[in-house]
Amino acid sequence: MDAGVIDAAELDGPVDLQATVESGQTYRWDRFDGQAYSTVGAHGGDPWYHTVLPGSETPTNEPEVVRLRQENGRLNWEASFDAAGAIRQNLGLEDDLAAIRAEMGNDPLVSRAYDAFRGLRIVRDPPFACLVSFICSAQMRVERIHGLQRALERALGAEVAFDGETYHAFPTPAALADAGESRLRELGLGYRAPYVAESAAMVADGEFHPRAVLGCEYETARAELTGFVGVGDKVADCVLLFSLGYLQAVPLDTWIQSAIAEHYPDCDRGSYTETSRAIRERFGGRYAGYTQTYAFHWLRTAGSSPTA
DNA sequence: AGCCAGGCAAGTG
DNA sequence: CACTTGCATGGC
């Protein structure tokens, strides 16, 4: 077993592991202590989190386990390989958070949210898992989205042994495509089941891959991703922001739309494309997705309920 | 019991 | 293009 420490002092700005992995941007990290996933602040002590990275992101080309825990300014990790680089990349630890904050804006909502979750980073999740989890996210609560991803892993993901325990990788595109709509309905996906089955088949067949939009200009990339079944502008923005590193993407979900109505009514331009352009400018341009994610987490945990 | 959840697709006007 | 409707399931 490999292990190591990432000291926040090496990074540009603070780190808050719990806010990063429990703010609804990634569904690939599980808390080890078995407590409810999204009960922010309810755990005692510093919990371990674990994930299984896909073979496409490991040196062995096989799924590998990573465990991680924050103690003050230090991130302790354990893994089946030298995972320091992968962790830094996957959790946005290489982002210059201090510089990003300077472009996020200073209105009350943004300032309150940033102060509440100082150290929250934007993740770079494995693209296929990110795509599936946000297809599943339609009309579902964050806690349930996370539960569904775990159900998919347990039922359809490869077993990975590590340190005497068994973990599950996220299902491959072929595994989800082969499972088909009926099996995915059995696992609780509801009307999203055919969306996941069809989009997984597109990837398994080599017809399309979320990674294929890398290099495209932002709005082009978003439009391309809507070629997947079950992916509209909002889910496409989630994949761009939480997986592909498009930090300007601002997913216009119900929480953000209600925040726009309440706090930035001049940014409501009536269409997704135009409202997106306006709020992106208000939220700091190239780093607007960071602002969105702080605002989302703050609204969902401390702010008022959406009215939309 | 009814309403709602990190929406999307298909169908109208 | 704007607007409406149907869609699974679980928690409050």
Tens of pLDDT, residues A231-284: 999 999 999 999 999 999 999 999 999 999 999 999 999 999 999 999 999 999
A193: alpha, beta or left? (left if phi > 0; alpha if psi -120 to 50): alpha
CA distances from A111 to A13, A50, A98, A116, A294 (A): 16, 31, 14, 9, 9
Strands A64-71 and A48-53: antiparallel
Q: How many Å from the CA of A84 to C1' of B9?
A: 42
Residue A12, pLDDT score: 93
Low-confidence ranges of chain A (pLDDT < 70): 34-44, 303-308
Residue A305, pLDDT score: 38
Give every CB contact of residue A254 below 8 A, 6+ residues apart in sequence: A306, A308
Nucleotide nearest to A189 (CA to C1'): C8
| Active-site annotation holder among A50, A234, A282, A297 | A234
To the query of whether residue A234 is one of the catalytic residues in this protein, the response is: yes
Residue A302, pLDDT score: 77
Distance from chain centroid for Cα A12: 21
Cα dihedral sign, A109-A115-A116-A117: positive
Question: Structure tokens of A93?
Answer: 């630890």
d(CA A160, CA A60): 13
Residue A4 is classified by DSSP as E
Question: What residues form DSSP beta bridges with A77?
Answer: A4, A68
Give every CB contact of residue A106 below 8 A, 6+ residues apart in sequence: none
Chain A 245-274 residues whose Cβ is under 7 Å from strand C:
270-271
With beta carbons less than 8 A apart as the criterion, state whether A237 and A251 touch.
Answer: yes
Nucleotide C1, nearest residue via CA and C1': A271
Span A176-197, pLDDT tens digits: 999 999 999 999 999 999 999 9
Nucleotide nearest to A254 (CA to C1'): B6
Residue A32, pLDDT score: 84
Residue A43, pLDDT score: 54
d(CA A180, CA A169): 19
A130 CB closer than 7 A to any strand B atom: no
